[in-house]
Structure 1
Amino acid sequence: MSKQARTQGPVIRRHDQVLPTTTDQRLLSSKGDGEWVHSDPWRVLRIQAEFVEGFGTLAELGPGIGVFGSARTPRRDPMYAAAVEIGRGLAQAGYATITGGGPGIMEAANKGALEAGGVSVGLGIELPFEQALNKYVSLGINFRYFFARKVMFLKYSQGFVVMPGGFGTFDEVFEALTLVQTRKVTSFPIVLFGRAFWTPLLDWLEDGVLAGEYIASADLSLLQLTDDPQEAVALATGPGPQPRPSAARQMS
């Protein structure tokens, strides 16, 4: 191989992309600063570690339901009380309650689960303005990366209860919807709690998105709506609405 080409594992470098040193040389060098621990290849190991830690911690969790909602919900808010009841109901039904581990709705659901003798899980995330896991979490993991945290929610939850919240809550709703719609996950109930909050969004989905033929009518049935905490528990722990077959399956 010419001097203008070098193979480094699966990577081939040629011409001006050839590095002046080998991987082993850089590893064994005692010179330089600590910037290498912030490089993208090193981040891959951190990402791997987060998945290993998450899978190892949650592998024997048993059935769980993810509960989402605003971290800003005050304890005096009726939604906080409803989330406590939902966490309690999930524990009584034999399900772990899985939240983001923060305050507000997350704290309330964890509180209900813990006080009812259930497993109360918090999957925290490193944020510049966020606090530690709430005191009602009995099993907690802190993540650096949102995507690793999302995988844990989706892998170890059998359904979601989604209460009023902001961008983070919407992100979880629509990611779950996309995965159910595309059959990446099946029999996965998504329950929206709070008719007054969610109805405008559902109206827009019907009048704008469905009317514009960006989704199918069956896609709207993937969302279930309630104001009753016990019904939310029953819907979330049930089989959930079945998504329509994919176009490829319909044609086969």
Structure 2
Amino acid sequence: MEIETLDELDDHLDSDGPLRGLRLQDLDLTSYGDRLAAHGDLTGLVVLGGTVPVAVAELLLTRGAILFPGVADAPVDPWRGLYFPSDLYAGLEGGYAATPDARAYAWFIDARLRTDAYCTLVRAIHDDSVTDELDEFVQGRSVVGIMGGHALQRGSAAYARAAGLGHALAEEGHLVATGGGPGAMEAANLGALCRSAAAVEETMGRIADVPGFRPDVTSWASTALVARDAVVGDEPQAPSETLGPSARSLGIPTWFYGHEPPNVFCDVIAKYFSNAIREEGLLARSNAGIVVLDGAAGTVQEIFQAATPLFYAPDDTALPPLVLVGRDHWTERVPVWAALQALALGRPMSKALHLVDSIEEVLPLLAPRP
């Protein structure tokens, strides 16, 4: 049983329930020494990170508990879970290189640390904590994944169409999940965050002067943060930061592609060090369907990764739709449609595959909300 808040811990201690099997995650135990001591044997209690004074740590260890301390010299807190945009971009006024996001990437690619056992463990714990909180966040939600390239420019017609799709899906009650990066991903997250079509138009106008994240991530992110603040300030029903059911926009980026900074139009961000865990997590959670916009190598990888479970699904399984948008793109420029059709021949997955030309054709193809 995971205990993630002090209120939950107080309730459990007040009930005089056993502590064996509890996982106390990222809690401040400064004032809990006497209450924990009153339980005698603490064997089987696991404390994961948080604030644990020396006296409390000694008590835990001598009574049989297992203690995983916080990490002082890593740029991330491995126990924290999901991020808000303000977490990753803190200190942006000093330049992108000063932000937690940029520092985490620099730490991740440091050749001296890539194979260091301690750093590998920290990254694994971090990603597991993200997964744990992400599972709780999406539980019971209808999730639509939107895939697309990072090169899509703000101010373009294609960007506007992607934003319109994200907004339409969110208005239908879906949680819009993307890879959390720039381009088509940012556009879809922007559309989902906004509570009105007018707000989508206004927000796109506010950021159009900085069309891409190259060569200056600082300007790209700063412009977007100002626009995001205007969205949540102008629309009282749009929460600025929430893990609750009112959240509509989710990003799942990775430091593996650290050259792609996370976009700020997500309600929450599940950022991973492992791209493999990130990719599988995004696709597996898209229970209402996956929509694929124009993209290149990374997007093609995601298409076939999504197609694999469809190919091997049992005959009686309800399959989420996989919708490719842009007939010319997916049959001529990047001709993956023919390969998908060949794989699907005579299999149930053939009913889950769709190729359309317009955003307007997407919504009727998605699985209905539960």
TM-score (norm 2): 0.48
Structure 1 residues 203 and 119, CA gap change in structure 2 (3 angstroms): closer
Amino acid at match of 1:133: P
CA separation of 1:40 and 1:88: change in aligned 2, threshold 3 A: same
What SS class does the counterpart of residue 253 from structure 2 fall into?
A: strand
Q: In structure 2, give the amino acid aligned to 1:195.
A: R
In the alignment, which residue of structure 2 is the partner of 1:166? 296
Name the amino acid aligned to 1:97: V
Q: Judging changes above 3 Å, is the alpha-carbon distance between structure 1 residues 189 and 204 closer, same or farther for their aligned structure 2 residues? A: closer
| Aligned partner letter, 2:327 | R
Report the CA distance shift for 1:44/1:165 in structure 2 as closer, same or farther (over 3 A).
Answer: same
- Residue 134 of structure 1: aligned partner: 263
Counterpart check, 1:47 vs 2:124: yes
- What is the identity, as a one-letter code, of the residue corresponding to 2:319? S
Q: How many angstroms apart in 2 are the aligned matches of 1:148 and 1:162?
A: 20
Deviation for aligned residue 1:81: 1.4
Pick which of 192-201 and 122-131 moved more.
122-131
Q: After TM superposition, give the deviation of residue 49 of structure 1 in Å.
A: 3.6
Note if contact 1:189-1:238 (Cα within 8 Å) is conserved in structure 2: no
Write the deviation string for residues 13-44 of structure 1: whole angstroms up to 9, x where unpaired: xxxxxxxxxxxxxxxxxxxxxx7883468636
| Aligned pairs for 1:50-69 within 5 A | 50-61=127-138, 62-69=141-148
The aligned counterpart of 2:184 is: 105
Q: What is residue 205 of structure 1 aligned with on the other side? A: 339
CA positional deviation for 1:127: 3.8
Residue of structure 1 equivalent to 2:115? 38
Query: Do residues 80 (structure 1) and 159 (structure 2) align?
Result: yes
> Aligned partners of 1:82, 1:73: CA distance in 2, in Å?
11
Distance in 1 (CA, whole Å) between partners of 2:113 and 2:155 is 48
Three-state SS of the structure 2 residue aligned to 1:147 is helix
> Counterpart amino acid of 2:171?
Q
Counterpart check, 1:226 vs 2:303: no
Q: What is the CA-CA distance between 1:151 and the residue it aligns to?
A: 2.6
Q: Write the distance in 2 (CA, Å) between the matches of 1:81 and 1:42.
A: 41
- TM, length-normalised to structure 1: 0.69
Change (3 A) 1:46 1:204: same
Q: Percent identity?
A: 26
Residue 182 (1) aligns with residue 275 (2) = no
SS of aligned partner of 1:237: coil
How much has 1:238 moved relative to structure 2? Answer: 4.4
The answer on whether the counterparts of 1:101 and 1:121 sit within 8 Å (CA) in structure 2 is yes
CA distance in 2, matches of 1:95, 1:203: 26
> Structure 2 counterpart of 1:188, which letter?
P
C-alpha displacement of 1:199: 2.4
- CA distance 1:154–1:59, change in 2 (3 Å): farther
For 2:175 and 2:337, the matched residues in 1 are separated by: 32
Distance in 1 (alpha carbons) for counterparts of 2:143 and 2:187: 16
1:148 counterpart = 2:277: yes
SS at 1:59's partner residue? Answer: helix
| 1:60 alignment partner, SS class | helix
For structure 1, which segment, 194-203 or 66-75, has the greater mean C-alpha deviation from structure 2 after superposition? 194-203
Q: CA deviation at 1:64?
A: 0.9
The answer to whether the 8 Å contact 1:119/1:139 transfers is no
Deviation at 1:57, TM superposition (A): 2.9
Unaligned 5+ runs, structure 2: 1-111, 196-237, 239-246
1:46 maps to amino acid: R
In structure 1, give the amino acid aligned to 2:133: G
Asked if residue 192 in structure 1 is aligned to residue 324 in structure 2, the reply is yes
Q: Does the CA contact (< 8 Å) of 2:290 and 2:321 recur in 1?
A: yes
Which shows bigger deviation, 44-53 or 137-146?
A: 44-53
Range with bigger deviation, 70-79 or 139-148: 70-79
Q: CA RMSD in A?
A: 2.8
